[in-house]
Amino acid sequence: MMRKTLPWAIAGLALVWTVLPAGSQSTNTGASNGNDTYRQLNLFGEVFERVRADYVEKVTDEQLVESAINGMLSSLDPHSSFLNAKNYRDMQVQTRGEFGGLGIEVTMDNGVVKVVSPIDETPAARAGLRPNDLITHLDGEAVLGLSLPEAVEKMRGPVNSDIKLTVRRGTGEPFELTLTRAVIKVQSVRSRLEGEIGYVRITSFTEQTDVGLKNAVQKLKTEAGDKLKGFVLDLRNNPGGLLDQAVSVSDAFLEKGEIVSTRARKPDDGQRYNARPGDLADGKPVVVLINGGSASASEIVAGALQDHRRAVILGTRSFGKGSVQSIIPLAGHGAMRLTTARYYTPSGRSIQAKGIDPDIVVEAARIEKVATGPQRREADLRGSLRNPDQPPGAQPVPANQGPATTPTQDSGPQGPVSPEEDYQLQRALDMIRGISLYQSRTAN
């Protein structure tokens, strides 16, 4: 079978791919270039034998072949790679929503490990790692020269063991963080009521995401009853996951139309995914939160809901991962992750290296109290008229002398914040309230 996802390697988590049957890849070499191919293979064989015989230290044939394969794949793009049998098993575990490691989604950038996003409530998130952080050393050993799977393998290890990361953030000086490895159990969907608005956060797209979303929305409907005004779908720092789950989540809010299409090198290999009737939100307003850590499958959902005008996209531009990787099993030798297609939003947009631009840009900020000093109001003026709706003898409404609330740009560590401090979330909630109020007034 073929399973598609939108990729990453995680310390660990793996993301958007497809699984192809072993032996399904085709050969398309004509007779005209057959001789050239054999000459190149002879060159490879000659180098292989010379390294095997003369390298300063003994290297096994398995090491040489695996390194050669991985070098061939990793030279194509940042997301193609070779998975030996162990890494392939790890990847299969990860897509089921449970894995061991640090809980950080990573890719490679100019030879060092780049953080795509930390997963909520994991060692990486608690340590304050942020999207776009660069990890240059692992336990004092330089990452430069390692492949992505090799770097990820070093970040994995026994539960409760420590690892020291050297991190470079922006133009600042490198700093060190010590993280304790843990069993990462990803509950990919979390939800709660924010007043009369349903808040749903999806942290990654695993095999259980669509079921988790349906259960969460049903629970919110039961708790809020007829007072439910709408939903906020939080995809911030969601690195992606399984393509079919991204399609299911998009379908949950759409009645009809295309969700996403993929285009491969061969026109016949392209696919289109369409929505089926049924809106889980019952037509209520939806706001989707995204940021620079929203990648791959997250961008499919945001792009589909944006193009169909089913949701307002709020936040900052997403990561821009617009390619699909196929996981091709290699019998007895693990698998290869190969970029096989690009995906496009319903309007035909490719977001590769561009990302999804939000409908309303709201930068990350925290909310803090700012003292404004005493403020006089009409009720404070001597001899002011009494409100006729107040009973005789009632005290006038006191002046607002409390501090005002204002957003400030967040320059501190990106750790967990309370809903009251999350400026982007508060803007999303205000938007739902405004849309609901407008709809109720125009309906009367």
Buried/exposed 382-404: b ≥16 CB within 10 Å, e otherwise:
eeeeeeeeeeeeeeeeeeeeeee
Q: Which of 179, 99, 128, 55 has the alpha carbon at shortest distance from 411?
A: 128
What's the pLDDT at 432? 97
Question: Mean pLDDT of successive 10-residue segments in the chain (444 residues)?
Answer: 48 46 49 80 95 96 94 94 87 71 88 87 92 94 89 86 94 94 84 97 92 97 96 96 95 98 94 97 97 96 98 97 93 92 96 96 83 77 82 63 53 56 94 92 74
Measured from the Cβ of residue 204, the count of other Cβ atoms closer than 10 Å reads 30
Structure tokens at 238: 């969601």
What's the pLDDT at 379? 80
What's the pLDDT at 119? 80
Contacts of 282 (CB under 8 A, 6+ apart): none
- 189-361 placed in CATH 3.90.226.10: yes
Distance between terminal CA atoms of the chain?
53
Q: Which of 341, 346, 354 has the alpha carbon at shortest distance from 247?
A: 346
Instruction: Spell out the long-range contacts of 395-401 with Cβ–Cβ below 8 A and sequence spacing 24 or more.
Output: 399/374, 399/375, 400/375, 401/373, 401/374, 401/375
For the annotated catalytic residues, the residue numbers are 296, 307, 321
Fold assignment, 99-185:
Pdz3 Domain (2.30.42)
Structure tokens at 436: 């609901």
Q: Which residues pair with 140 in a beta bridge?
A: none
What's the pLDDT at 152? 87
What's the pLDDT at 8? 47
Give pTM, 2 decimals: 0.74
Measured from the Cβ of residue 106, the count of other Cβ atoms closer than 10 Å reads 28
What's the pLDDT at 15? 43
What's the pLDDT at 72? 95
Domain limits, the chain? 99-185, 189-361
What's the pLDDT at 228? 97
